A and B are shown apart, each in its own frame.
Chain A
Amino acid sequence: MRAVLRNRRILIAGGFLILVVVLSVGWRLFTPYGYQDQVAVPLSGDGLLGGDDFGRDVFTRLLVGIRTSLLVAAGSVLLAAVAGVTLGMVAGYTRRAATVIMRAVDVLLSFPAIILAIAVVAVLGPSVRNVLLVIGVIYIPRFARIAYGQTLTVTRSDYVAAAQAMGSGPVRTLTRVVLPNIGGPLLVQAALSLSFAIQTETGLSFLGLGAQPPLSSLGTMVAAGRDFLEVRPSLLVVPALVVVAIVLAIHVLTDGLRDALDPRQGSPS
């Protein structure tokens, strides 16, 4: 735990992300406008970041857009993690039909998430809620896979055998012995999935399949900005850079986490 707090990368990236979360979740505190209010001259420079094509305040819509993307990403990862880890741990522990199930699951694992998401959203209809559900379900195999592999490794160790020899049942062994010991890689996977989820959500919104107007998402803002490239490029560039910054921060955080949780310290970079 101490190693986590001492790592510089984690601190900087983590700090940035906390700032972003605070700004976006509490957006009402940081701007006087609503995200639908038409307060500026369209495409002007008034206000912090100017006005968009409808005259709405870009800064406000940016904060709300970050909030949308973050909520969807976090929600879907939570869903995937809880379901996937449970499945993976049970499969790794009981081993009965596990291999077959894991192999079948493998297909979904390598399938490009966005295509599946598009297909399902096409069927269910575009909305933020559907995107959250779809991404969540699609990412379950990723977590299941890692939890399964880690559980297999850990259950082979002597301390699990010792617990079983002393009479510890499956539930107790899984929750008290296995889970704390597979937490590290799972945490790293969660962070990684978060970054992919953001990219997928913004991509889907970019295509018009995610957040529906008037709600803004970072993806919809970039898409909208495309039409005004020559007139006001900042409409595209600003949300684009914000997405990159958030994903970059998550990756730096993930790398830092991985190093801090790795028992073999001292490896370069």
Chain B
Amino acid sequence: MTRFLLRRTGLAVFQLFVIGTLVFLLVRLIPGDPARAALGETADAEQLAHARALMRLNEPVAEQYAGFWARLLHGDLGTSLISGRAVLADLPIRLGNTLELVLLALAVALAAGIPLGRAAALRAGRRTDHAVTGGSILGLSAPVFVIATLLLLLFSVYWPVLPQQRYVTLWDDPLAHLRLLVLPVLTLAIGATAVITRMTRAAMLETASADFVRTARATGIAERLVVRRHILRNSLVPVVNAAGVELATLIGGTVLVETVFGWPGLSSYLINAVSTRDYPVIQAVVLAAAVLVIAVNLAADVAGRLIDPRAEAV
């Protein structure tokens, strides 16, 4: 197990390195002058020089690259070209807000998806199964921004139970904050639940026909124990993997959800930076998202290994 952990962590570090390099190269791809692109036509030479210095564009490339990593390891994520503040000051809060949405959505998806998938698998081919499968395929097919806008239409315009409000933090006004959470989390959770449901159903159906299930039955164990100990347990690994992948998808989904609901998270931070061409911020956000995704994959792999000791190493 320790060998597996070491190897898997090593892989994670390697992946971080790859993404970091790609992010570094990203800014070098900009056609023309990044400083001009960011500050616009009206900027004068002094402002442009200042911006270029901030982005360290005057140094030789190798030095830039080394410096990039050195600063990262010290926690320096650069300075915003527009606000002038260190990215490190704003990023963590935004990241936290996004995580709030994503983790809640995943929790809802697991809590609803696993029982639904289980029910559908046990009653395969019958009405419950058709209903669940139909519902999940619909949930999968609606793009996030469609769900978001339709929900907004439904609950804020036609039936104003959750009218649009200004964002407040949890500490300022807990109740209002919770009310604000409902729609964004629901939007994200719908797609995620569909994925988890389908995965659980498919995994359970596949496991149900396995030889060892027949053996367990042959020893006289009660059927519900057969389902719990053998079918469900062995189906968990693919579900855990799916949950890991889904987390990444959810992070992608926040891009649209935060825009529609005005949620100040990482993704809206990114979108603002894109529209203002604030390259240091763009870099930092992509990196942050990458770290998140890599960490989630690592956790999912370790969890999978714990559940199934025979899972192929890396």
Contacts and interface: CB of A to CB of B under 8 A. Distances in A.
B129 A202 contact: no
A13 to B, nearest CB: 11
B14 interface: yes
B143 A268 contact: no
B137 A236 contact: no
A205 B296 CA distance: 29
Contacts of A110: 244-245, 248, 293, 296-297
A180 B130 CA distance: 33
Interface stretch (A20-28, A50-58, A111-119, A164-172): A111-119
Interface stretch (B215-223, B226-234, B270-278): B270-278
B162 interface: no
A116 B18 CA distance: 14
Contact of B282 (A119, A237, A250): A119
Contact of A230 (B145, B157, B249): B157
Interface string B259-276: 110000001001101100
A150 B14 CA distance: 25
A184 interface: no
Interface in A242-258: 243-244, 247-248, 250-252, 255
Given A124-B31, A207-B256, A269-B124, A107 B277 contact: no
B26 to A, nearest CB: 6
A202 B143 contact: yes
A202 B145 contact: yes
A233 B255 contact: no
Contacts of A251: 137, 140-141
A155 B146 CA distance: 43
Interface of A: 103-104, 106-107, 110-116, 118-125, 195, 198-199, 202-203, 206-207, 209, 219, 222, 225-226, 229-230, 233, 236-237, 240, 243-244, 247-248, 250-252, 255, 267-269
28 contacts: A103-B11, A107-B19, A107-B294, A110-B245, A110-B296, A111-B289, A112-B255, A112-B289, A114-B252, A114-B255, A118-B270, A119-B270, A120-B29, A121-B274, A122-B273, A123-B30, A199-B143, A202-B143, A203-B143, A203-B256, A207-B255, A229-B157, A240-B146, A240-B149, A251-B140, A268-B125, A269-B124, A269-B129
